[in-house]
């Protein structure tokens, strides 16, 4: 039986789930900085992208990114991200087919772990709130491994990576010998990520592409029977 890793943001839950959290914090900072929330978000994203391109773990430390963005504009107080998240958690939802896919993979005897670049401090409350902890055997976060989904130790002992990010869920895991299943539109996302991350993805290709999470158990079955 296989050890299967599945991504959280953009895969098990919609990519925009966090938007209200960031919107609230950006509004708070913008008011004090005398600018717009959009401008705060643009600056925070730029900082995040610089760190992402450097494959730096701090790309996922939103408290730090938002605090640095605020400080740049003379604002030295920023709401606690985890606390704002807690208030928005009741609105978080799973993507269609998530529960069914996880339950079926488990029933087939596989070990299933959530594998996210996010920090445990932010991701564990989301995982618990949605009951995902009851459906999987473990959770891998980047802070636990000391690197994002870019280093061999992160993928140790795993056979498959499933996710929506062309770089972190396909390019790197493939490099370390994992089967990869991409969730979404591969051509479109690979082109966008290749440009954003400045990584050549022209030779990368997932072993399978799905557009609904319910397709995953069947794809896994065919990967391991061939």
Q: Which positions touch Mg ion (CB under 5 A)? A: 7, 9-10, 164-165
Query: Within a 13 Å sphere around the CA of 182, how many CA atoms are in the beta-carbon half?
Result: 21
Structure tokens belonging to residue 16: 């925009």
Supply the minimum distance, in Å, between the C-beta of residue 185 and Mg ion: 14
41 or 183: whose CB is closer to Mg ion? Answer: 183
Nearer to Mg ion, 28 or 164 (CB): 164
- 8 A C-beta contact, residue 2 and residue 224: yes
Which is nearer to Mg ion, 29 or 180 (by Cβ)?
A: 180
Q: How far apart are CA 184 and CA 9, in angstroms?
A: 13
Interior angle at CA 43, CA 193 and CA 31, nearest 5 = 140
Alpha-carbon torsion (90, 96, 100, 104), positive or negative: negative
Give min distance, CB of 8 to Mg ion, in A: 7
Q: How far is the CB of 167 from Mg ion (least distance, A)?
A: 10
How near is the Cβ of 142 to Mg ion at its closest, in Å? 12
DSSP state of 132: G
The pair of three-digit structure tokens given for residue 34, joined into one six-digit string: 């005398």
Q: Residue 17 or 26: which CB sits closer to Mg ion? A: 17
Q: What is the DSSP letter of 170?
A: I
The residue with its CB nearest to Mg ion is 10
CB nearer Mg ion, residue 14 or residue 37 = 14
**Least distance in Å: CB of 183 to Mg ion?**
8
């Amino acid at each position: 039986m296989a050890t299967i890793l599945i991504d959280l943001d953009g895969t098990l839950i919609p990519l925009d789930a966090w938007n209200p959290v960031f919107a609230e914090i950006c509004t708070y900072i913008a008011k004090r900085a005398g600018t717009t929330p959009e401008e705060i978000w643009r600056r925070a994203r730029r900082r995040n992208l610089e760190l992402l391109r450097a494959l730096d773990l701090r790309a996922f430390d939103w408290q730090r990114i938002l605090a640095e963005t605020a400080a740049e504009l003379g604002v030295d107080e920023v709401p606690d991200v985890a606390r704002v998240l807690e208030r928005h958690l009741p609105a978080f939802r799973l993507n269609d087919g998530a529960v069914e896919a996880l339950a079926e993979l488990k029933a087939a005897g596989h070990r299933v772990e959530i594998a996210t670049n996010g920090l445990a401090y932010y991701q564990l409350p989301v995982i618990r709130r949605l009951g995902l902890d009851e459906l999987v055997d473990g959770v891998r976060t980047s802070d636990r491994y000391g690197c994002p989904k870019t280093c061999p130790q992160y993928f140790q002992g795993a056979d498959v990576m499933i996710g929506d990010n062309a770089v972190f869920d396909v390019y790197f895991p493939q490099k370390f010998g994992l089967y990869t299943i991409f969730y979404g539109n591969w051509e479109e996302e690979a082109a966008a990520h290749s440009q954003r991350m400045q990584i050549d993805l022209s030779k990368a290709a997932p072993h399978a592409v799905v557009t609904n999470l319910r397709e995953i158990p069947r794809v896994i079955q065919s990967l391991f029977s061939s």
